[in-house]
Amino acid sequence: MENLFIEPIKFDDMSKEASVYLDKDQTTWVKSIMGRFLEKFPMLQNQGIKLVWTKQDPNKGYAVGAIKILGGAVPVIVRDFYLYPMDVIMFGDKALPLTADTLQSILSNPEPFKGIAGSSPKGSLDLFSPDLQMSPTESAHNMVGNTGVTRPAMKYASFIDSIEHVDKDSIKTILSEVTDEAVKNAFKANDNWDVIEKISKKTTESTETEIQSFVRNLEVDRQYSYEDSLGNHIVKSANSNVDHVWSTVVKPEEADSVSNKTAEATEVPSDSPILKGNTYKISDNETLYVSDTNDYHVFDRGIKLAETFDLNEETPQVGDTGTFILNGIATKPFEIASIEKVSGDLGVTLPINNSNDSLYIHQEDNSYGVYFDKVASSDAEKLIESLEGSDPQVGDTGCFIVNGSATKPFEITSMQKNTDAGQWEIETFDGLNKVSYYPIKPKADTLESHELYTNSYYVPGNSIFVKLGSVMNDVEGLTKSAAEKGSVHITTWDGMKRNTYYLVDEKAEQYADHNFDSSASYIPKNATYIKLNKNIKVTATPDIEKVAHHRIERDGAGLYNLHGPAFEKYSENNNNVRSLLKDDAIWSSIHCGVTNDEIDTIAKMANGSSVDIYSDLNTPYPVRELSEAVEKGFDERMAEIKIDTNLVKEAAVISDKGTVDAVLSLGLLKKDNVLEFVNLLPQYEAVMGELAKLLIISRLGLSNIPETAVSKAMVSLTRVILLLKQINTVHKD
């Protein structure tokens, strides 16, 4: 007889740890909630914001409402006087997790998560309606049957089926979790055991290298069909940006149906405003052209223009595409990823742990203030050494500093020594919360959370306690002063690598390399920043006098030789550009961007002749370099944020099969198959939105699924999506 009493899966109860206990006096709730929200998201300080209650029962410590901001609503749920984390934002029927990263996407991108925007809503989550229509009802992990509200199941193509290349270790890790009887029974109770069986049957022999994974889905926009000296019909195909070639032998009848693909040579009318523009040297082999509408193009050679004009200087903004220009020399066009202020005050500015704020400590009297934006000292380590550490005492106001980061300033309310453990407990109050610190001898890079107590941390032996002086109330003035006295550094992405530019308050004739950062440069104050619009194609026109930097010669024996910077660079990737047969010369020319008209000219060349090439050539990047860029992006992101992709227990308690499939598929993510996951980004975003709804449902008590399970699955999926977005940027560029 089937066991009707299923052993529940045990989850750590993280809800109370992440929640805030509100005062019994309900009149303080709004101030506490808004303070907590803006403390977590200080970048929203200047946004219009209000808290609207839908239901309240102060005597029971219960309330439901929403913070109205950015055209959306952040659900506010209070149960038993505990304020749940405000980590979801709703836009109508669409929900998404609210983190510093997703908020940055919302602020900088009109369509930050297209997968959510494009998905059909599965129900409403209107906190201001008496009839709550929610996400899917979840069957209790320790019961058979459903309770609560219902809605249609989410329908997605199987994520697991879509991932073709997996390794045995990934499958073994997932299946090992299912050996737990409670986990196995939960999958079966929710009718999702078939998803586990699907994973167990995945084929693992077809694993591929990182390079194979990288090139597998590249668009083919260069193609050439020819017949070799042995009568074989061959089709060569490639992507114009990547130095990887597919060579396929086809049947004669198939060869007739294959068309050549070359670079386009779109003629621009002579009266087009695009023809008005300036050119700037980037390097010996690259020239930046900027039109009068700030559209731009990078030429792999020199050009001359018939008309020039003055460009308008602008202030750099996050999300801009732009360039710096100094004495006719331009930086390679870039996208601005972040802009940070470098404090010029006589003090040290440090990031505050688990916050987007920063702590400023004046060196003379240890007076301090908190910045509600990201400010960093340019030489923090040296400045920290100038701070005097001291022994903490009851009544002191101070902070702990370790590895360049500070705790939020606090007042010490009590100190007591645990005689059994031989350990001090320092109780503090930071203005909002009671926090306990436990100094220990072992060294570490950060403070570690206490394994038993909430709002409690171990302080490593290499940290120092700094007694602080008076509070600087004029934080806004302090921030302004830092901006006026200091400088700015801008982090950018030029399509291949990340660069940092430090704006200095000195004039110079040329850019200078950073003293110790190889990917950074100093930009003098007399340089001009130009905001660029779209990247355009510019070809032969009456108003642009092109300078031919490339030439193809055919010697007396009929062999071809390719000359010029793009071809020379092409040869560095183990491609031969000397003594080529006709078809090999034509293919190399096609791959580097020679247009169809000039390809026809090359094909008709006589022995002992030469042809100047005016096409705008583009040397394909070595596939290994691009693959390594993807790998580096993967490794850097994985190092920046902790991504837990082992979510078997969490998937077991979810009833919706599509969600279970998506959550379990994350366990198959590896560096060598990450691009397969990139192709599923919109679908993953849709699942992320549904998990955000489900989390709110759970907190409202309308679902039996453990809140911790939903929260962990949502956070992990969100982090994976941000990783995939970064990888996708590298791959597309």
- Mean pLDDT, residues 357-367: 80
110-156 tens-digit pLDDT: 455 555 554 444 444 444 333 333 322 233 333 223 333 344 444 55
Which of 32-41, 172-181, 265-274 is the least confident region?
A: 265-274
Query: Is residue 408 located within the same domain as residue 452?
Result: yes
Query: Is residue 450 located within the same domain as residue 349?
Result: yes
Find tokens 């094909």 and name the residue.
603
User: Is 181 domain-assigned?
Assistant: yes
CB atoms near residue 155 (< 10 Å)? 10
Contacts of residue 523, Cβ cutoff 8 Å, sequence gap at least 6: 324, 326, 501, 502, 503, 504, 511
Domain finish residue from 593, 617, 641: 617
Q: Is the pLDDT of residue 607 over 90?
A: yes
Contacts of residue 399, Cβ cutoff 8 Å, sequence gap at least 6: 359, 406, 407, 408, 409, 410, 465, 466, 468
Query: Is residue 350 located within the same domain as residue 461?
Result: yes
User: Is 90 domain-assigned?
Assistant: no
404-423 tens-digit pLDDT: 889 999 999 998 876 555 57
User: Is 432 domain-assigned?
Assistant: yes
Query: Is residue 466 located within the same domain as residue 519?
Result: no
| φ, ψ dihedrals at 464, nearest 5° | -125, 150
What sign for the dihedral angle of Cα 154, 159, 160, 161? Answer: positive
510-527 tens-digit pLDDT: 888 865 456 778 888 899
Which of 61-75, 95-109, 566-580 is the least confident region?
A: 95-109
As a whole number of angstroms, the longest Cα–Cα distance in the chain is 99
What confidence tier does 67 reach under pLDDT thresholds 50, 70, 90? very high
Q: Which domain holds residue 660?
A: 136-218+622-733
Find tokens 């403070």 and name the residue.
447
Burial of 504 (0-12, 13-18, 19+ CB in 10 A): middle
What confidence tier does 538 reach under pLDDT thresholds 50, 70, 90? low
Q: What is the pLDDT of residue 9?
A: 74
Query: Is residue 362 located within the same domain as residue 453?
Result: yes
Work out the mean pLDDT of the chain and round it to a whole number: 78
Q: Is the pLDDT of residue 482 over 60?
A: no
User: Is 82 domain-assigned?
Assistant: no
Instruction: Please provide the size of the chain in residues.
Output: 733
What confidence tier does 341 reach under pLDDT thresholds 50, 70, 90? low
Domain finish residue from 617, 633, 667: 617
Domain finish residue from 472, 503, 523: 472
For the chain, the first-to-last Cα distance in angstroms comes to: 59
What confidence tier does 380 reach under pLDDT thresholds 50, 70, 90? low
Asked whether the beta carbons of 289 and 305 are under 8 A apart, the reply is: yes
Find tokens 């249609």 and name the residue.
152
Query: Is residue 722 located within the same domain as residue 672?
Result: yes
User: Is 477 domain-assigned?
Assistant: no
User: Which residue would you say has higher pLDDT here, 716 or 627?
Assistant: 716
Q: Is the pLDDT of residue 375 over 80?
A: no
- Mean pLDDT, residues 377-397: 72
Alpha carbon distance 621, 4 (integer Å) = 61
Q: What is the pLDDT of residue 382?
A: 55
569-579 tens-digit pLDDT: 999 888 999 99
Query: Is residue 464 located within the same domain as residue 558?
Result: no
Query: Is residue 590 located within the same domain as residue 630?
Result: no
What sign for the dihedral angle of Cα 300, 301, 304, 308? Answer: positive
Alpha carbon distance 638, 629 (integer Å) = 14
Alpha carbon distance 636, 552 (integer Å) = 43
Strands of the sheet with 550-554, listed across from one edge: 560-563, 550-554, 609-613
Q: Is the pLDDT of residue 226 over 50?
A: yes
User: Is 266 domain-assigned?
Assistant: no
User: Which residue would you say has higher pLDDT here, 203 or 619?
Assistant: 619
2-22 tens-digit pLDDT: 444 456 676 665 554 456 888
What confidence tier does 503 reach under pLDDT thresholds 50, 70, 90? confident
Alpha carbon distance 327, 382 (integer Å) = 35
Give how many domains the chain has, as a whole number: 4
Find tokens 């969100």 and name the residue.
718
Query: Is residue 589 located within the same domain as residue 665?
Result: no
What are the tokens at 103? 């908020």
694-706 tens-digit pLDDT: 999 888 887 788 8
| φ, ψ dihedrals at 653, nearest 5° | -95, 0
Query: Is residue 450 located within the same domain as residue 415?
Result: yes
Q: Is the pLDDT of residue 223 over 90?
A: yes
Burial of 168 (0-12, 13-18, 19+ CB in 10 A): exposed
User: Which residue would you say has higher pLDDT here, 696 or 43?
Assistant: 696
Query: Is residue 709 located within the same domain as residue 645?
Result: yes
Asked whether the beta carbons of 679 and 651 are under 8 A apart, the reply is: no
Return the beta strands (E) in 576-656 as ranges: 609-613, 621-622
Query: Is residue 330 located within the same domain as residue 349?
Result: no
User: Is 382 domain-assigned?
Assistant: yes
Q: What is the pLDDT of residue 152?
A: 44
User: Is 609 domain-assigned?
Assistant: yes
